[in-house]
């Protein structure tokens, strides 16, 4: 077996070997290469101590990335490569970092400290694949198995519980029985992990191709980091539009959507307020009035708690607030929607609407065609530069001021003009808009005198 190594990686390993050391690519880059995927980056492990690494690469820029853990970053052709000395880790009293490390000359010992067998492989062209824990077999059997005792691995770093779920989602792996059982036994460790690390893993996990299965099977684990989802699990919607409980509907909707972080976060939270807003009518049918607004506020609090960036929070919150709109493939309606959320948000919202409706009863599937028609109409509006917001009117507040209006009257006039332009009642020309603005303003003045 031969893995195609970049020239820079070959040079790194070659220089280490020329200096009397061993060097291998290790971890995710080996896993991805064996799966026929292009690695995002290449990590290298070596028998050289940090000072030896620096000496070998003295002519290159190097950075003490994690020098006490044996890692030096070497910059070659403007690309950073992390080179780490083989090591054994001490205890993990903080559930994240080893309290101490012991450097070793044994590659197998180094691989023994890693999380999963599929990540515990090393390779170079001379020695081939180093695989002491059967990672290649697990890889092709699509089994996720911890190296050694699963509870030891999860206890060392609680985030590995989320990483396990992420690999199951992204790689469509199934855990071996011991690993699966330990995920549940160790899930409370997630409470000790920083919000930033949790949110990073959650974003990757949600974009996996097997996310529905993971969300369903490990709902209790997700509830550790997002307890607000607990009422969703098993909640019967009592609705002819739904064939699943709230949580399973959520899981299916996420999986059915475009693998985009904003879309999938929005679908994860789009129905989070349904249990709180649930009411039944005289016939026993369930209704969830206002759940989109309540859900948007819950989403805001959750994403802030998980330390997502402000852009993500505002985008996802807007998508949740608007996910319950009724799709209407009519030009005026699409323009009004574009005016409310903007074209970029609309493109994401269309994917949210699509995922939501795919996860409902088949009587809702006709909405999918309507959503596609709305996408075509929206694209035409943008391509033709048709007016759908105040800033696109061929008149502005300064022009309205010149006819005597001020303050709220200006906003009222502009909004009325926009509504009439969108509705094709009024052409978007300066002369027509100014004439109509004067008419509107005279009406405002008459109303002021009448009601004053």
DSSP 385-413: T---SGGGSS--HHHHHTTT--THHHHHH
In the block, residue with structure tokens 């490990």: 218
The H-or-E segment that residue 69 falls in is none
Same domain for 265 and 216, yes or no, is no
Same domain for 116 and 238, yes or no, is no
Same domain for 168 and 263, yes or no, is no
Same domain for 340 and 278, yes or no, is yes
Same domain for 345 and 237, yes or no, is yes
CA distance 147 to 155: 13
Of 131, 127, 125, give the one whose Cα is nearest residue 11: 125
Q: Which residues constitute the domain of residue 242?
A: 227-385
Q: How many domains does the chain have?
A: 4
CA distance 218 to 200: 18
pLDDT in single tens digits along all 452 residues of the chain: 678 899 999 999 999 999 999 999 999 999 999 999 999 899 999 999 999 999 999 999 999 888 888 899 999 999 999 999 999 876 666 656 666 678 999 999 999 999 999 999 999 999 999 999 999 999 999 999 999 999 999 999 999 999 999 999 999 999 999 999 999 999 999 999 999 999 999 999 999 999 999 999 999 999 999 999 999 999 999 999 999 999 999 999 999 999 999 999 999 999 999 999 999 999 999 999 999 999 999 999 999 999 999 999 999 999 999 999 999 999 999 999 999 999 999 999 999 999 999 999 999 999 999 999 999 999 999 999 999 999 999 999 999 999 998 989 999 999 999 999 999 999 999 999 999 999 999 988 887 655 54
Same domain for 29 and 60, yes or no, is yes
Same domain for 237 and 282, yes or no, is yes
Instruction: Please report, for the domain that includes residue 79, its CATH number.
Output: 3.30.460.10
Specify which residues 83 forms β-bridges with. Answer: 44, 72
Q: Which of 385, 408, 438 is the last residue of a domain?
A: 385
Q: Which of 141, 173, 208 is the last residue of a domain?
A: 141
Same domain for 215 and 244, yes or no, is no
Instruction: Please report, for the domain that includes residue 256, its CATH number.
Output: 1.10.3210
Question: Taking a C-beta distance cutoff of 8 angstroms, is the pair 234, 175 a contact?
Answer: no
Q: Which of 365, 385, 405 is the last residue of a domain?
A: 385
| The two structure tokens encoding residue 361 | 């009863």
Same domain for 258 and 341, yes or no, is yes
Same domain for 340 and 248, yes or no, is yes
Same domain for 236 and 353, yes or no, is yes
CA distance 227 to 98: 29
Same domain for 258 and 327, yes or no, is yes
């Amino acid at each position: 077996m031969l893995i195609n190594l970049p020239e820079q990686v070959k040079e790194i390993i070659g220089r280490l070997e020329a200096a009397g050391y061993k060097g291998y690519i290790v971890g995710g880059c080996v896993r991805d290469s064996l799966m026929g995927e292009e690695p995002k980056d290449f990590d290298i492990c070596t028998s050289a101590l940090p000072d030896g690494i620096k000496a070998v690469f003295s002519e290159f820029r190097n950075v003490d990335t994690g020098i006490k853990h044996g890692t030096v970053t070497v910059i070659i052709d403007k690309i950073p490569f992390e080179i780490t000395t083989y090591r054994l880790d001490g205890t993990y009293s903080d559930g994240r970092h080893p309290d101490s490390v012991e450097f070793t000359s044994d590659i197998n010992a180094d691989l023994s400290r890693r999380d999963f067998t599929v990540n515990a492989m090393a390779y170079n062209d001379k020695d081939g694949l180093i695989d002491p824990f059967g990672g290649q077999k697990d890889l092709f059997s699509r089994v996720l198995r911890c190296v050694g005792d699963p509870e030891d691995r999860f206890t060392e770093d609680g985030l590995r519980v989320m990483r396990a779920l992420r690999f199951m989602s992204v790689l469509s792996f199934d855990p071996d029985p011991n690993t699966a059982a330990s995920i549940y036994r160790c899930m409370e460790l997630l409470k000790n992990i920083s919000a930033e690390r949790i949110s990073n893993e959650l974003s990757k996990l949600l974009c996996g191709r097997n996310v529905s299965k993971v969300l369903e099977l490990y709902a209790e684990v997700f509830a550790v980091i997002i307890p607000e989802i607990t009422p969703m699990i098993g909640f019967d919607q009592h609705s002819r539009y739904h064939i699943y409980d709230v949580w399973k509907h959520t899981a299916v909707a996420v999986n059915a959507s475009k693998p985009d972080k904003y879309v999938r976060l929005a679908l994860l939270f789009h129905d989070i307020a349904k249990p709180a807003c649930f009411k039944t009518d005289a016939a026993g049918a369930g209704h969830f009035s206002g759940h989109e607004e309540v859900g948007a506020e819950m989403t805001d609090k959750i994403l802030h708690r998980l330390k997502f960036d402000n852009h993500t929070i505002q985008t996802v919150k807007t998508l949740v607030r608007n996910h319950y709109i009724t799709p209407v493939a009519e030009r005026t309606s699409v323009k009004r929607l574009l005016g409310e959320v903007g074209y970029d948000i609309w493109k994401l919202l269309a994917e949210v609407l699509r995922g939501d409706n795919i996860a409902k009863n088949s009587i809702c599937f006709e909405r999918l065609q309507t959503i596609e028609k709305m996408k075509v109409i929206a694209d035409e509006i943008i391509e033709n530069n048709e007016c759908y917001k105040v800033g696109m009117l061929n008149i502005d507040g300064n022009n309205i001021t010149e006819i005597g209006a001020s303050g709220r009257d200006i906003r009222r006039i502009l909004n009325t003009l926009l509504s009439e332009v969108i509705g094709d009642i009024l052409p978007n020309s300066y002369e027509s808009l100014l004439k109509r603005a004067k008419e509107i303003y005279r009406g405002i003045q008459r109303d002021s005198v009448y009601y004053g």
